[in-house]
């Protein structure tokens, strides 16, 4: 029997106070390397989101910056809107 690896299309992580930034970012970069199209790393402390794309490029977005979403998903959302939904 051959096991097939299944990766998520979109990975979203929220950094908790006891986690190390590098550790969580490494997980998202690993996902991108193996086929995940998009990753978000939410940092509640400074209200920013690191976006990791399928090419493993990392961008930091804040405030009214519009977030990248999956291809084919019609969603126009800013960093501020995401953090307004969270009860942190």
Query: In the CATH hierarchy, which top-level class contains the domain 10-85?
Result: alpha beta
> CA end-to-end span of the chain, whole Å?
44
Q: What is the mean pLDDT of the chain?
A: 92
Average pLDDT over residues 58-78: 96
Per-residue pLDDT, averaged over 13-23, amounts to: 93
The DSSP line for 43-63 is: ETTTTEEEEEETT--EEEEET
């Amino acid at each position: 029997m051959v096991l097939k690896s299944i990766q998520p299309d979109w990975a979203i992580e929220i950094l908790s106070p006891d986690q190390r930034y590098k550790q969580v970012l490494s997980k998202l970069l690993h996902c991108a390397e193996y086929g995940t199209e998009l990753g978000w790393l939410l940092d509640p402390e400074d209200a920013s989101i690191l976006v990791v794309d399928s090419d493993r490029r990392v961008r930091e977005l804040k405030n009214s910056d519009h977030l990248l979403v999956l291809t084919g998903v019609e969603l126009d959302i800013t960093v501020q809107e995401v953090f307004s939904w969270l009860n942190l």
